[in-house]
Structure 1
Amino acid sequence: MTGQVGRVGSAAPALVLVAHGTRNPRGVDLVAALAEEVAAAVGTTRVAFVDVLGPSPAEVLRDLAVPAVVVPAFLASGYHVHTDVPREVAESGHPDVHVTAALGPDPVLASVLFERLRERGWRPGDAVVLAAAGSSDRRALADVRRAAAMLADLTGARVDIGFVATAQPRVADVVSRVRRETGRKVFVASYLLAPGLFHTRLAAAGADGVTEPLGAHPDLVRLLVSRYADVAAAGVRPELEVAPAR
């Protein structure tokens, strides 16, 4: 996804960027950087967290006196997206809130992952393991499989999946198996948004290389704005203008 996003008029709804939350300062800074980049395109942008940190989405929404578009910055739609976010919106009592689809899976994210792999030294013929946080929600696991398939389309080869926390198999086990079965170098594509405990664990997975998290990549910023624009243009504020992709 390329192209520039046009500035939204002052009457546009606020964007509430909802992230998981982390105690790692770098992860917190990354979310703040994303919000700053998004705000440059859409105007009023607030950050909320569903776990570990505050403020919560409900707290942020209570402080807004304008319509709001909630964008869940999650790479798969599990419990937080299907349960926490709707509950927080309901508890806020805000009269005009629209919730977008989650960030992933999406071809844009696959493209960023592919770029991160090449930056880390991956070359055609090397094996790839997609490392996701994991979830007990089958819908989230299905989303991760879709993300792996999208990345496989770009690498031209199979992409195996490993999980950092919830769900099996674990990343280190997958890396070991793939290396044993293929005899190839194995690179881990970090399907994580920001630095934190989960990403730190990937360094011990035994891979030949581990990519950086998706981070505040320009295409990811444009994807966030696109999620907002799709909802805003559809029914919240029709004056939103987005420049066509190039």
Structure 2
Amino acid sequence: MTLILVAHGTRDPAGAAVSHELARLVRTRLPAVQVEVAFADVRAPDLATVLRSVPDGAVVVPAFLAAGYHVRVDLPAQAGPGVTITAPLGPAPGLVAAAHERLIAAGWRPGDPVVLAAAGSSDPRALADVRRAALLLGARTGDPVRIGYAATARPSIADVVAATPGRVAVCSWLLAPGVFHTLAARTGAPVVSAPLGPHSRVADLITRRYLESRCYARAA
């Protein structure tokens, strides 16, 4: 059964490249499985288009860090009945571990205040996912983690950075480069981590989402 990895989509070619690199990494973990990429917005192909080219059924893995509109409304509408859609990637502890590793690589030091830079959503359940990620990250850094949003929700990343004293480190809670990460990078914070990108922990989680969905389907 085909695995379709659905990312948000961005006009930034580097952002799209992350989705395809993640798909490549998943193929190395699931050599017998066809892995395709679709986008929820901005870029083609969309999920409905990819599904029409899949003859053997599909498991859709939303490459989203919170369950907002695309995960709860848009993708189910495009998938239609009979298509399995797994839980999104976030806020899984493994992804928080990956974000922490990116933060350390960017130059964060224990004691530096951390601002989690997230995409934002009008869905309170998606914002709850972000708060969960911040709590998990705070358990790793040893201090509470503030949250700033790139769009839709408040406060903004820039406002939180400006209001935070000390050597502020922005932890990118984003999957790929694009407009949102550019906003985080322009806050003037001394430390800004890279997006999660094609991290091995991300590929591992995508693989696990697919395998778990197949196991549940067989059990049913």
TM class by shorter chain equals over 0.9
- Is the Cα–Cα contact under 8 Å of residues 67 and 236 in structure 1 kept in the other structure? no
Q: Distance in 2 between matches of 1:230 and 1:36?
A: 20
Q: Distance in 1 between matches of 2:122 and 2:70?
A: 11
Q: Distance in 2 between matches of 1:155 and 1:236?
A: 40
- Mapped pair 1:88 → 2:78: yes
1:35-184 to 2 correspondences below 5 Å: 35-42=23-30, 43-90=33-80, 96-179=82-165, 184=166
Q: Distance in 1 between matches of 2:112 and 2:86?
A: 36
Give the deviation of 1:67 after TM superposition.
2.0
SS in 1 for 2:84: strand
- Structure 2 unaligned runs (5+)? none
Q: Distance in 1 between matches of 2:197 and 2:125?
A: 24
Q: Distance in 2 between matches of 1:85 and 1:50?
A: 7
Give the deviation of 1:237 after TM superposition.
9.3
- Is the Cα–Cα contact under 8 Å of residues 68 and 96 in structure 1 kept in the other structure? no
SS in 2 for 1:87: helix
Q: What root-mean-square deviation, in Å, do the aligned CA atoms of Structure 1 and Structure 2 show?
A: 1.3
Aligned length: 218
Give the deviation of 1:83 after TM superposition.
0.2
Q: If the length of structure 1 is used for normalisation, what is the TM-score? A: 0.86
1:10 is aligned to none
Q: Which has the larger radius of gyration?
A: 1
Q: If the length of structure 2 is used for normalisation, what is the TM-score? A: 0.96
Q: Distance in 2 between matches of 1:202 and 1:99?
A: 30
Give the deviation of 1:236 after TM superposition.
5.1
Q: Distance in 2 between matches of 1:47 and 1:26?
A: 15
- Mapped pair 1:14 → 2:2: yes
Residue type of the partner of 1:227?
Answer: R
Could you report, residue by residue, the CA deviation over 1:9-40 in whole angstroms, capped at 9, with x for unpaired residues? Answer: xxxx1100011111101001111101111122
1:29 is aligned to 17
Give the deviation of 1:200 after TM superposition.
1.1
Q: What's the % identity of the aligned pairs?
A: 51
Residue type of the partner of 2:124?
Answer: R
The 3 A distance-change label for structure 1 pair 59 and 89 is same
Residue type of the partner of 2:64?
Answer: F
- Structure 1 unaligned runs (5+)? 1-12, 239-246
1:207 is aligned to 189
The 3 A distance-change label for structure 1 pair 129 and 122 is same
Give the deviation of 1:122 after TM superposition.
0.8
Q: Distance in 1 between matches of 2:131 and 2:44?
A: 31
